[in-house]
Structure 1
Amino acid sequence: MLFASFPRRQDMIDTLVDRATRLARNGQRAIIGICGAPGSGKSTLASAVSDALGERATVVGMDGFHLAQAELERLGRAERKGAPDTFDAAGYVHLIQRLRANEGTVYAPLFRRDIEEPIANAVAVPPETPLVITEGNYLLLTDPPWDELRALFDEVWFVAPDESDRMRRLVERHRAYGRSADAALARARGSDQANAELVLPTASRADLVITRWQ
């Protein structure tokens, strides 16, 4: 496990793009996981690296496997949305297995934060795509079926910003999607923090831990 910090955002992007490119050079598809607690910047980092690589990379998010709101309500888990048991974890593992096998074009779901629901078959991953970047909170959990994921990734990068920065970004995100200041803070300190406490110890299983970036 390596630790890295970057004084400038572009330094980080350049370094990680080089690292990703080396992984995808052998003619076989590479899969990189980007993990971290809620609000750590996983999606932003995945998009930045993917944008730099253009058609050579596609981002697939774990959040596309959120259970639908109606199902969460049926199960009595709506107040814990974002916890490990509020995802179709087996479905996500199966998707990564298909991407690893590169069995033709694979369609992945996408989570829409504006409506808080997943959209099926929204992301196409054609067989010629050499690099898949997948991001999510629970890529390094050791509980079944999440524990099957680690062997499917070429590398996992764990994003671990300063906790005050992570909390600030998380509250800002909740406010951007319509929550009041009080509700945003309550969500960040409540269920989001409980999930963060599950995720943060899993950093020890990552190949690279990114401790600072702007």
Structure 2
Amino acid sequence: MDIRAPDQQYNPYRIFTREQWARLRDDTPMTLEPGEFERLRSMHDRLDMQEVEDIYLPLSRLLSIYVDATDRLYRAQRQFLDIRDRKVPYIIGVAGSVAVGKSTTARVLQALLARWSPRPKVQMVTTDGFLFPNAVLERQGLMQKKGFPESYDLPTLLAFLSDIKAGRRPVRAPVYSHLVYDIVPNQWIEVDTPDILIVEGVNVLQTGRLPRDGKAVPVVSDFFDFSVYIDAEESVLREWYVRRFLALRDTAFTDPKSYFHRYAVLSDEEATATAIAIWERTNLANLEDNILPTRPRATLILKKRADHLVETVALRRL
């Protein structure tokens, strides 16, 4: 994997093959039980003991180094400034396309990091909860662009992250239901002074347009201490999306409460055609215009093969 421009000599990333990366696990212990893998992985993702050992345990070890270094820097700065403010959470962003496996990665990291000694408090939120409700999207003509940057209540998301970094407690995040495809009214996730917070979403590495007057314009990634981008070729992502759509047709879509219940009666051919149309109309456009351009902003990039296994790891140089 080489994410440089054709005429660019310096690569800001160190690239590791799967085998090279796996060796960096060193003596990091396996703290997950075999029965946990089914709970952690999403429907179509491949996740087994070997993948955790080869990819996620080295990443867990690396994150422990980053978190420890940040803590030591915080303490040194606090002493230098002679201030007594409380330590703020370490925030990890997880980005990537629809169907690439962001949720699985976020859940695995949460489970591994929570087992560090001395058992840090690790919480996770998805930016789905900060989408505008469907009624607002309908009114603004954005239902076909759900998941695009303009479909999020960015001020509320930024206020949430600002409160987290300020150490306020508790902070509430809205709840999103994939069954009804909408925000759940009057339901919240409470985030109460975690040691580590994982924020997962397709557009969490988005930047804003720079202001001409030089005033500060915050973006979501300003609050991140580390970020992970899950990557795969577009043809692979499309295949994964179609397979997930077909699986959901036979499971979640059969629920009469499902927003997509109308798709439950489709034949394999009809469902495949529908999934490809949705992919090309919405998800591919979002990937090309908004998600993929943010890949070079990530601290670490996990590139997956068609079998869902990570083949290369790119770590941003310090």
Q: TM-score, normalised by structure 1?
A: 0.88
How far is the alpha carbon of 1:67 from its aligned partner? 1.2
Q: 1:122 aligns with which of 174, 188, 192?
A: 188
Q: Tell me what 1:75 maps to.
A: 140
Question: Does the 8 Å contact 1:141/1:147 carry over to 2?
Answer: no
Q: TM-score, normalised by structure 2?
A: 0.61
- Seen in structure 2, the aligned counterparts of structure 1 residues 123 and 15 have a Cα distance that, compared at 3 Å, is farther
Aligned residue runs from structure 1 range 1-214, under 5 A: 1-2=12-13, 3-4=15-16, 6=18, 8-10=50-52, 11-25=54-68, 26=71, 28-54=88-114, 56-119=121-184, 121-127=187-193, 129-143=194-208, 148-175=219-246, 176=248, 177-178=252-253, 179=263, 180-197=271-288, 198-212=290-304, 214=309
Question: Does the 8 Å contact 2:88/2:164 carry over to 1?
Answer: no
Q: For the residues of structure 2 that align with 1:6 and 1:109, how far apart are their CA atoms?
A: 37
Q: Deviations 1:41-81 (Å, cap 9, x if unpaired)?
A: 11111011112233631111111111111111111111222
Structure 1, unaligned stretches of length 5 or more? none
Provide the aligned C-alpha RMSD in A. Answer: 2.3
How far is the alpha carbon of 1:190 from its aligned partner? 1.4
How far is the alpha carbon of 1:88 from its aligned partner? 0.6
Amino acid at match of 1:78: M
Q: For the residues of structure 1 that align with 2:295 and 2:137, how far apart are their CA atoms?
A: 28
Q: For the residues of structure 2 that align with 1:51 and 1:96, how far apart are their CA atoms?
A: 22
Q: For the residues of structure 1 that align with 2:167 and 2:143, how far apart are their CA atoms?
A: 34
- Aligned residue for 1:190, secondary structure, equals helix
Structure 2, unaligned stretches of length 5 or more? 1-11, 20-49, 72-86, 115-119, 211-216, 254-262, 264-270, 310-318
Task: Quote the sequence identity (%).
Answer: 24
Q: For the residues of structure 2 that align with 1:45 and 1:20, how far apart are their CA atoms?
A: 14
Question: Does the 8 Å contact 1:110/1:123 carry over to 2?
Answer: yes
How far is the alpha carbon of 1:111 from its aligned partner? 2.1
Q: For the residues of structure 2 that align with 1:12 and 1:126, how far apart are their CA atoms?
A: 29
- Aligned residue for 2:245, secondary structure, equals helix
Q: For the residues of structure 2 that align with 1:118 and 1:23, how far apart are their CA atoms?
A: 34
- Seen in structure 2, the aligned counterparts of structure 1 residues 4 and 60 have a Cα distance that, compared at 3 Å, is farther
Q: Deviations 1:92-146 (Å, cap 9, x if unpaired)?
A: 111111111121121212322111012355322111x210000111122222598
Q: For the residues of structure 1 that align with 2:287 and 2:67, how far apart are their CA atoms?
A: 31
Q: For the residues of structure 1 that align with 2:229 and 2:218, how far apart are their CA atoms?
A: 16
Structure with more contact order per residue of length (Cα contacts < 8 Å, sep ≥ 6): 1
Q: For the residues of structure 2 that align with 1:5 and 1:71, how far apart are their CA atoms?
A: 45
State which structure, 1 or 2, has the greater radius of gyration over its C-alpha atoms.
Answer: 2
Structure (1/2) with the larger strand percentage:
1
Q: For the residues of structure 2 that align with 1:144 and 1:90, how far apart are their CA atoms?
A: 15
- Seen in structure 2, the aligned counterparts of structure 1 residues 113 and 204 have a Cα distance that, compared at 3 Å, is same
